[in-house]
Structure 1
Amino acid sequence: MISQKLQDAINYQINRELFSEYYYLSMASYFNSAGLSGFENFFLIQVEEERFHAMKMYNFLNERGARVYLQAIEAPKKEFKSALEVFELAYEHEKLVSSLINDLMDLAIKENDHAAKNHLNWFVEEQVEEEASMDTILNKLKLIGGEGHGLLMLDNELAGRVFTPPAK
Structure 2
Amino acid sequence: MKDLLRTHTSLQEGIEKLLNLQSKIENDASSKYLAMASWLDRNGFENTAGYMYKQAEEERTHFLKVFKYITEIGGIAITPVVAEVKQEFSSFKEVFEIALQNEIAVTHAVNKIIAKCRLENDYATEEFMMWYVKEQREEEINARRALELFDLIDEDSASGKFELDKQIAKIGSVEA
Shorter-chain TM-score above 0.5: yes
Tell me the distance in 2 between the aligned counterparts of 1:9 and 1:79: 30
Matched, 1:15 2:24: yes
Tell me the percent identity. 29
Name the counterpart of 1:69.
78
Q: Tell me the secondary structure at the aligned position of residue 116 of structure 2.
A: helix
What does 1:141-156 correspond to in 2, within 5 Å? Answer: 141-148=150-157, 149-156=159-166
Q: Tell me the secondary structure at the aligned position of residue 147 of structure 1.
A: coil
Runs of 4+ with deviation above 3 angstroms = 157-163
Cα displacement string for residues 127-164 of structure 1 (whole angstroms, at most 9, x for unaligned residues): 0000000000111012213232122123124446799x
Higher-RCO chain (CA-CA 8 Å, sequence separation at least 6):
1
Larger radius of gyration: 2
Tell me the distance in 2 between the aligned counterparts of 1:45 and 1:34: 18
* Paired residues of 2:31 and 2:85 also in contact (CA < 8 A): yes
Matched, 1:124 2:133: yes
Give the partner amino acid of 1:50.
E
Tell me the distance in 2 between the aligned counterparts of 1:44 and 1:161: 13
Tell me the distance in 1 between the aligned counterparts of 2:34 and 2:22: 18
Matched, 1:60 2:69: yes
Tell me the distance in 1 between the aligned counterparts of 2:126 and 2:169: 36
Q: How many residues align?
A: 163
* Paired residues of 1:26 and 1:76 also in contact (CA < 8 A): yes
Runs (5+) with no aligned partner, structure 1: 164-168
Let me know the Cα RMSD of the aligned residues.
Answer: 1.6
Name the counterpart of 1:98.
107
TM-score by length of 1: 0.91
TM-score by length of 2: 0.87
Tell me the distance in 2 between the aligned counterparts of 1:63 and 1:71: 18
Cα displacement string for residues 68-97 of structure 1 (whole angstroms, at most 9, x for unaligned residues): 112322211111011111101101110111
